[in-house]
Amino acid sequence: MQNKHQRTRGRRHGQGGTVFGIAAVLALAGLTATATAAPTAPSTPAGPSAPSPDGLTRPAARVTLLTGDTVGLDRTGRVVEVRPGQGRSGIGYSVRRFAGHTYVVPLDATRLLGSGRLDRRLFDVTQLVEDGYDDAHRKQVPLIVSYDGSGTVQKGARESLFAAAADVTHRLPAIHGDALTADKPDAGKVWRALTDSVGGRAAVTTAPGIERVWLDGRVRISAQDAVAPDPRGGVARIGAPAAWKAGYDGKGVKVAVLDTGIDATHPDLKGRIRKAKDFTDSGSTDDRQGHGTHVASTIAGSGATSGGKYKGVSPGAELLVGKVLDDTGFGENSDIIAGMQWAVAQGAKVVNMSLGEDDTADVDPLEQAVNDLSASSHTLFVIAAGNSGPSDSALGTPGSAAAALTVAAVDRDDKIASWSSRGPTADGRLKPDIAAPGVDIIAAKAAHGTEGNDEAPGYVSMSGTSMAAPHTAGAAAVLAQEHPGWTGERLKSALTASAKTPRGVTPYDVGAGRVDLTRAIGATVGSEPSSVDFGTPDPWPHDDDTPVTRAVTYRNDGSRPVTLDLDLTATGPDGKAAPTGMVAVSPARLTVPAGGTARATVTADTRLGSADGVYSGAVNATGDGQRVRTAVVVDREVETHTLTLVTTRKDGKRDNEPDVTVAGLDTGKQFTPYDDGKARGGTVTLRLPRGRYAINAVTSTPAGRYAQLVAPHLVLDHDTTVALDGRKARLVKVTAPDRRATLRAGQVVFAARGAKPAYGLSAATDFEAGTTFLGQVGPKAPAGDFIAQIGGVWQRTATSPAYNLVSTRHGGFFDGFTRAFASIRGMARVKTSVATALAKANTAPNTWWSTPGWPSLDQVISPLEGPLRPAPTSSVEQYLSADHGMRWYLGARTQNGTDGEGMVAFAAPRRFQPDRTYRVTLDGGVHGPIVTPTKVVGGLRVGRYYALCVPMFSDGPGDFSYSAQTTVHTRLTSGSKVIGDFTEDTCPNTYANLRAGTARYKLSITADRSKGYRISDHVEGVWTFTSANTPETRAVAWPLSVVRFHPKLSLTGTAKAGARITVPLSLQGPAAVKGQLKSLTVKASYDGGRTWKPVTVHGAASGKPHLILTNPRKPGSVSFRTALADTAGNTYTGTIRNAYRTVR
């Protein structure tokens, strides 16, 4: 079950739960984008960026891909570097961003994705970080591999994987595969074992015996906060007491609960647990989270602790407990599949799975396991729909599996819970199947659990589809006792057929309706299938449609015939009743013989009516005290046209596996039509609604010749064929004013505006001299709706001037491009100094540009890095394009020459005027913390969640600087309560567990750099402040302040010993506001922080605080310790050890 307030997955750290990025807590809209580039060499990774209104860029997280390549992401989730794995230099990669997720796909994996044999989640770096699969939290790449071919071939595939150091964690016969892990240093070897070359380094297929490769993804639960416990209780509302009275309480029926384990000591569960097994690394089946115990007692709890008040639906059932989710409420696909296999082997009649993850249009391993095990064992899998409503098509997997009984949640009034996930599934099928109570449900509390609100001794309340599923599983157990010979499919049909009729909702909300045991128990008539889903019977237009029929079979298990009156009511997309005859059932009356069946026909005639869209309703069959309900949906397609894409490679051969994205600029929907592996002759077809679209296509030959083709403005108002012909793409040729300068790094970028900011498409493609071929397909867009740019850095040698040149085109893409920059006229000249105290250091300048009015371009443009040169240096000379209002980020990555330890620094973006000269210094001065109030720096609160990002080593001017070799310890407390205690970088994460009301907090951060750093090697900060609860729609900055020191230092961070110097101070945060500084004191140490002496702060009253120091005659270091308080009672104390050194 998902949290209605936290809809992205996350990994818990310390005492707080986390999701990815401060952008998450701010609910920033994700931009839709794609990008392609070539990886930098291992010694020259792209560097991170600086604070800006939109964020702060740096490698806050690193992810090793299955291919062995590593990806660096900044604090906002943007890719800032890609380092090729061993032996993979020169293999390009693509970066695609949409729906808030970023995918980094090495080009040799593209064709496997296009064939459907490789799981795209393996390259979803956003989700990999969210799920704790980044390198800081996971040392292996987890995989699920399915096999094909003969037994000998499969054996060979397994042996190759074993030889590549892949370890088998689970055998998964349910999907004809294995779960594997590969240590990240061995990932490249495993990739080579999984693939075979088909003619070039960038063209591979799966190795013999390998059918498909998936990520062993993370599945989660997260209990919702109950608001007001349901006084009647869900068990009573679904009619369980009536079933008990009839003699059915699930006795003898085995129900498996695959969850977070169970508290076997709880009195309500005494004697109910038949077997229990741990599939996680928790070490026991004890429930230290609380979710599994709550779910299990909803199914089979005796209610002993409450005198029977909180009894489960089927208290006579026997529980099989599989702990497939760890103590933080997360689990991996393979653990869950292994638990499913175990449950079936133990004879479970019903399996409850109150868990899930985001669904995709492809069949994932969880869906496949549910479907295959259901068919082979006739076990019923009851699965929560998820809590990502109220949006359509938000239903999660494995609830999306066709065989599952998928459960939505309703409240005490049988109204759909706002957060309950709606259908259809990602591939357009009708789900959920049924609904059950899931709001404010009271059930057993685990002794060691942490979830839920205490309601009575031994009980907590929770909300979610996780709570609805066990009501349904318990109901299935009751029916299984009444009908021991029924299969899982019959149990599913009986429950949906007897469901209570919903009001004001569609089958995509609640399926057939709410579980009703009072109707299910004793019923002798049922129907199959459990629902009728016509899908889209005929394409638009509908004047020549053909009526389509589906059969509904009624079964009578009674001893005498039953006559049923049949009626079908349906509602159209306009909320009005469907036209007579559009969706109908015949005959109007039928008799079902005793012990026999009778068939009715449901007809959908989409020629009738005028409103296009989805029509939904149900067939209601009543008679002889029986009532049977079957949900019905039919899609009368809106104006839609066929888009046919024909892709041809640069060598003239058709391409069945290109990388193609079709973006709906009016709808925000995106399609990757070649990913299902069904293209033939380079051709695929899509049925798309009328509207505007943009297309981005990259096609390649086995020899590695790439062509990018872009359609900036396709208006789809009739059936259309688009030829994506790589032969028509032309070469890009750009030269710098220095004709001997060569291209060091470059990108081709574009952005197409959509009807809303999130609906656009943006991309960046690697630009390499002599190998980049571009072509526009179709007409141009209006000038304000599309922009394309070609940019790069040209340089003759590492110490020669660098030319950062950008050419811009509005309205259209490039059909090749040729330009020779004749002179530096119109460019800005920047002289950059790079400081460092590292020994034997080298530095590599970094730049990238930003174009006003096109924020989506910023999402895909990566830093351009020049070659390494000795550091420190004051002679970095750069020429920048200064037209179109461009803003430039200037930065540098510095590393020492002994062990590669490094530092990166970036200045905030700025506009440089043409034909002017500027001077910039990076990484100089005293390094210390900054709390500049941007979207990603400082502390932010939303409700009881918080995001924290305090860079501890920003350089003297306040530019963002980052030390790769840093140890950070962060601790947040409130009184005696520890809110969070972290030893990792907090910047990529969002945390929970703040106090509900107004409270005082203490934040402590300690950061240490390795011995290679001779200045600012140890920095501490301690803040005390007051924070109040906030609405979950508004982010409020924490009142954090800091003191910054600005002495004039050399590029190695030194000042002259014995000299008298002035040290200007600056404040950041609330204390910097005029009139809000209450007190400020500073101490200095000349012995590395062993002893401290007070220093007078001059000029504080005038707003120009500064120190006047006399450095000791003996060379050494100067450290600072400061304390301040603002008028609101917030305080800060900070220490910077060895802030600068003194030399003769």
Separation of CA 377 from chain center: 34
Question: Residues, the chain, total?
Answer: 1144
Rounded to an integer, what distance in angstroms lies between the CA atom of residue 1067 and that of residue 567?
75
Rounded to an integer, what distance in angstroms lies between the CA atom of residue 835 and that of residue 125?
33
DSSP string for 4-64: TTB-S----BTTB--EE-HHHHHTPPPPPEEEEEPPPPTTSPPPP---BTTB--S--EEEE
What is the rounded (10 degree) CA torsion for 733, 738, 744, 746? -40
Rounded to an integer, what distance in angstroms lies between the CA atom of residue 977 and that of residue 569?
57
Residue with tokens 């061993």, as numbered in its chain: 86
What string of H, E and C letters represents the secondary structure of 599-665? Answer: EEEEEECCCCCCCCEEEEEEEEEEECCEEEEEEEEEEECCCEEEEEEEEECCCCCECCCCEEEEEEC
Q: Mark residue 758 as left, alpha or beta (left: phi above 0; alpha: psi -120 to 50; beta: remaining).
A: alpha
Question: What does the block give as tokens for 457?
Answer: 């001794």
Question: What does the block give as tokens for 142?
Answer: 């987890």
Residue with tokens 């469901």, as numbered in its chain: 499
- Helix or strand (DSSP H, E) at 571: strand 562-571
DSSP string for 147-164: E-S-HHHHHHHHHHHHHT
- Helix or strand (DSSP H, E) at 1006: strand 999-1009
Given 186, 259, 411, 509, the catalytic residue: 259
What is the rounded (10 degree) CA torsion for 791, 796, 797, 800? -80
CB of 430 closer than 8 Å to CB of 530: no
**C-alpha distance across the termini of the chain, in Å:** 66
Q: Is 466 a catalytic residue?
A: yes
- Number of C-beta neighbours around residue 164 at 10 A: 18
Residue with tokens 């913390």, as numbered in its chain: 929
Residue with tokens 């489960």, as numbered in its chain: 312
Is residue 786 classed as helix, strand or coil in its secondary structure?
A: strand
Q: Name the packing angle between helices 465-482 and 488-497 (round to 10°).
A: 110
C-alpha neighbours within 13 Å on the C-beta side of residue 888: 30
Rounded to an integer, what distance in angstroms lies between the CA atom of residue 473 and that of residue 349?
10
Rounded to an integer, what distance in angstroms lies between the CA atom of residue 941 and that of residue 946?
4
Given 13, 101, 266, 291, the catalytic residue: 291
Residue 550's identity, in one-letter code, is: R
Cα–Cα distances in Å, from 158 out to 113, 172, 775?
A: 22, 13, 43
| Partners of 917 in the β-ladder | 829
Rounded to an integer, what distance in angstroms lies between the CA atom of residue 275 and that of residue 272?
9
Rounded to an integer, what distance in angstroms lies between the CA atom of residue 364 and that of residue 212?
10
Separation of CA 793 from chain center: 33
Given 466, 531, 700, 833, the catalytic residue: 466
DSSP 1: -
CB contact burial 548-565 (16+ within 10 A = b; e otherwise):
eebebebbbbbeeebebe
Residue 1008's identity, in one-letter code, is: D
Q: Is 259 a catalytic residue?
A: yes
Rounded to an integer, what distance in angstroms lies between the CA atom of residue 1134 and that of residue 1018?
11
Rg (CA), the chain: 32
DSSP 229: -
Rounded to an integer, what distance in angstroms lies between the CA atom of residue 360 and that of residue 427?
7
Rounded to an integer, what distance in angstroms lies between the CA atom of residue 109 and that of residue 191?
10
The residues that are catalytic are 259, 291, 466
